[in-house]
Amino acid sequence: MKAQTPFETIHKRRHAEKMFKCHLCDYKCHQKYALTEHIATHNSEKPFKCDKCDFAGYTQNRLNTHIKSVHLPKEFKCDQCDYETHSNPLLKNHKMQVHTMERPYKCDQCDYAGTTSGLLSTHKDGFQILG
């Protein structure tokens, strides 16, 4: 029996975890809140309305994200260009992607390196599709 890579071990453990399944489609996730937000997308009604513009969202969380990104002052400003954001992690990602080209998230299967853990996860998901 071939030894598993750390990625294969984590991937199998993740699949062994409890999955939450949508009763309306094939969507599955590991967090209950993510399923709740997903199920709301099946409803054509968007009950969470912005009081500053005509935006409406399926969930309170989506409305909160909209308000932060569109209507609140952008506290974090890039010192190398005119990019502004409401989130320090978004500013750090911007600097890595645009200015420093830093790629701290390295794949253990190939030479790929990404700027965020999410990009690395998406990349690694491709290995499962291919093999």
**Residue 88: in which H helix or E strand, if any?**
helix 88-94
Output the pTM of the full model. Answer: 0.51
- pLDDT of 96 reads 87
Residue with tokens 């994200």: 65
Nearest to 70 by CA among 87, 86, 93, 94: 86
> Cα angle at 36 between 33 and 38, to 5 degrees?
110
Nearest to 32 by CA among 52, 12, 17: 17
pLDDT at 37 exceeding the cut of 60: yes
Segment of 11-25, 93-107, 113-127 carrying the highest mean pLDDT: 93-107
Q: Which residues of 65-77 are buried (b: 16+ CB within 10 A; e: fewer)?
A: ebbeeeeeeeeee
Query: What backbone phi and psi angles, to 5 degrees, belong to 86?
Result: -90, 0
pLDDT at 1 exceeding the cut of 60: no
Asked if 67 contacts 59 with a C-beta cutoff of 8 angstroms, the reply is no
- pLDDT of 13 reads 58
- Per domain, the residue ranges of the chain are 87-131
Name the residue with higher pLDDT: 109 or 66. 66
- pLDDT of 130 reads 44
Q: What is the mean pLDDT of the chain?
A: 82
Query: For residue 115, what are the contacts with CB-CB under 8 A and spacing of at least 6?
Result: 93, 96, 97, 102, 103, 104, 105
| pLDDT tier at 131, thresholds 50, 70, 90 | very low
Each residue's pLDDT tens digit, 75-112: 999 999 999 998 898 899 899 888 988 888 898 888 88
CATH architecture of residue range(s) 87-131: 2-Layer Sandwich (3.30)
